[in-house]
Structure 1
Amino acid sequence: MGCGCSSAAVEPIELAPTTGQFFQSFKLGRKLGEGAFGQVRLTTRISTGEMYAVKIMDVRRSGDDAIMDMQILKEARTESQLLGQVSGHPHVVALYETYLETPGLFYMIMERCYGSLMDSLCDMPKLTETNLRRMFRQMLLGIGACHAAQIVHRDIKLDNFLYGGERCRTIKLSDFGLAVRLPRRGAVKGVSGTAPYMSPEMLGRKKYDTKTDVWSFASTAYVILYGDVPYSPAQPSAPAVKKAIVLAYPPPTWARNEKLAKRYSQPSEGAEHFCRFLLVRDPSLRPTVQQALNHGFLQDVGDDDISEADEDEAEESMIENPGEQIRTITNLFVSKKKPQIIRRGLDEVLARLEEAGPPLPHTDLEGLGGGHVFTEEIPQLPQNPSDEEEVGGQSQRMTFATSLRRKLSTESRIVRHSNRRTNTHSGVTASQTTEAARQLQKALSALPDHLGDSERGINGTIA
Structure 2
Amino acid sequence: MTEAKLRKGPIMRSSQRTHNTFSFSRLFSPLASSEVGLFGSDMEERYEALKDLGSGNFGVARLAKDKNTGELVAIKYIERGKKIDENVQREIVNHRSLRHPNIIRFKEVFLTPTHLAIVLEYAAGGELFERICNAGRLSEDEARFFFQQLISGVSYCHSMQICHRDLKLENTLLDGNPAPRLKICDFGFSKSALLHSQPKSTVGTPAYIAPEVLSRKEYDGKIADVWSCGVTLYVMLVGAYPFEDPEDPKNFRKSIGRIMSVQYSIPDYVRVSTECRHLLSRIFVANPAKRITISEIKQHIWFRKNLPREIIETERRGYEETRKDQASQSVEEIMRIVQEARTPGLKAKTGEQAGTGSSDAVHGDTDEANEEVVSDGDFAKYLGLNII
Q: Same fold (TM over 0.5)?
A: yes
2:310 is the counterpart of 1:289: no
Structure 1 residues 72, 376: closer, same or farther in 2, change over 3 A? Answer: closer
What secondary structure sits across from 2:119 in the alignment?
A: strand
What secondary structure sits across from 1:187 in the alignment?
A: coil
Amino acid at match of 1:275: L
Q: 1:45 touches 1:51 (CA, 8 Å); kept in 2?
A: yes
Match of residue 121, structure 2, among 96, 101, 110: 110
Deviations 1:224-265 (A, max 9, x none): 22332222145333743653256427x21x222xxxx5xx44
Structure 1 residues 186, 74: closer, same or farther in 2, change over 3 A? Answer: closer
Match of residue 275, structure 1, among 280, 292, 296: 280
2:268 is the counterpart of 1:235: no
Partner Cα distance (1:52, 1:124) in 2: 28
Q: 1:199 touches 1:245 (CA, 8 Å); kept in 2?
A: no
| Residue 48 (structure 2) aligns with | 27
Partner Cα distance (2:54, 2:341) in 1: 31
Partner Cα distance (2:338, 2:203) in 1: 30
2:261 is the counterpart of 1:248: yes
Partner Cα distance (1:117, 1:175) in 2: 14
Q: 2:164 touches 2:187 (CA, 8 Å); kept in 1?
A: yes
What secondary structure sits across from 1:72 in the alignment?
A: coil
Partner Cα distance (1:177, 1:75) in 2: 7
| Residue 237 (structure 2) aligns with | 225
5+ long unaligned stretches in structure 1: 1-17, 61-67, 307-372, 382-402, 411-424, 427-463
* Residue 294 of structure 1: how far off its partner (Å): 0.9
Amino acid at match of 1:205: R
Amino acid at match of 1:175: D
Deviations 1:323-365 (A, max 9, x none): xxxxxxxxxxxxxxxxxxxxxxxxxxxxxxxxxxxxxxxxxxx
Amino acid at match of 2:256: K
Q: 1:101 touches 1:374 (CA, 8 Å); kept in 2?
A: no
* Residue 153 of structure 1: how far off its partner (Å): 0.5
Partner Cα distance (1:24, 1:114) in 2: 28
What secondary structure sits across from 2:110 in the alignment?
A: strand
Partner Cα distance (1:374, 1:187) in 2: 27
5+ long unaligned stretches in structure 2: 1-38, 312-335, 356-388
| Residue 228 (structure 2) aligns with | 216
* Residue 185 of structure 1: how far off its partner (Å): 9.2
Amino acid at match of 2:284: L
Match of residue 121, structure 1, among 118, 132, 135: 132
What secondary structure sits across from 1:224 in the alignment?
A: helix
Partner Cα distance (1:378, 1:269) in 2: 53
* Residue 53 of structure 1: how far off its partner (Å): 1.5
Where in structure 2 are the equivalents of 1:282-361 lying within 5 Å? 282-303=287-308
Deviations 1:368-401 (A, max 9, x none): xxxxx988469968xxxxxxxxxxxxxxxxxxxx
What secondary structure sits across from 2:126 in the alignment?
A: coil
| TM-score (norm: length of structure 2) | 0.64
* Residue 150 of structure 1: how far off its partner (Å): 1.0
| Residue 151 (structure 1) aligns with | 162
Where in structure 2 are the equivalents of 1:184-199 lying within 5 Å? 187-199=198-210
* Residue 278 of structure 1: how far off its partner (Å): 0.9
| Greater Cα radius of gyration, structure 1 or 2 | 1
What secondary structure sits across from 1:21 in the alignment?
A: helix
| Residue 37 (structure 1) aligns with | 58
Structure 1 residues 42, 168: closer, same or farther in 2, change over 3 A? Answer: farther
Percent of aligned pairs sharing the same letter: 28
Q: 2:94 touches 2:162 (CA, 8 Å); kept in 1?
A: yes
Match of residue 211, structure 2, among 200, 203, 207: 200
Amino acid at match of 2:77: I
Amino acid at match of 1:276: S
| Residue 132 (structure 1) aligns with | 143
Partner Cα distance (2:159, 2:194) in 1: 14
Deviations 1:301-336 (A, max 9, x none): 222589xxxxxxxxxxxxxxxxxxxxxxxxxxxxxx
| Residue 356 (structure 1) aligns with | none
Compare relative contact order (CA 8 Å, sep 6+) and give the higher one, 1 or 2: 2
Q: 1:151 touches 1:182 (CA, 8 Å); kept in 2?
A: yes
2:171 is the counterpart of 1:160: yes
Partner Cα distance (1:183, 1:375) in 2: 20
Partner Cα distance (1:230, 1:118) in 2: 15
What secondary structure sits across from 1:283 in the alignment?
A: coil
Structure 1 residues 19, 375: closer, same or farther in 2, change over 3 A? Answer: farther
Structure 1 residues 104, 125: closer, same or farther in 2, change over 3 A? Answer: closer
Greater per-residue helix proportion: 1
Amino acid at match of 1:303: P
Amino acid at match of 1:298: F
* Residue 197 of structure 1: how far off its partner (Å): 0.4
| Residue 72 (structure 2) aligns with | 51
Partner Cα distance (1:50, 1:244) in 2: 47
2:77 is the counterpart of 1:78: no
What root-mean-square deviation, in Å, do the aligned CA atoms of Structure 1 and Structure 2 show? Answer: 3.5
* Residue 48 of structure 1: how far off its partner (Å): 4.5
Partner Cα distance (1:181, 1:174) in 2: 16
Q: 2:173 touches 2:185 (CA, 8 Å); kept in 1?
A: yes
| TM-score (norm: length of structure 1) | 0.55
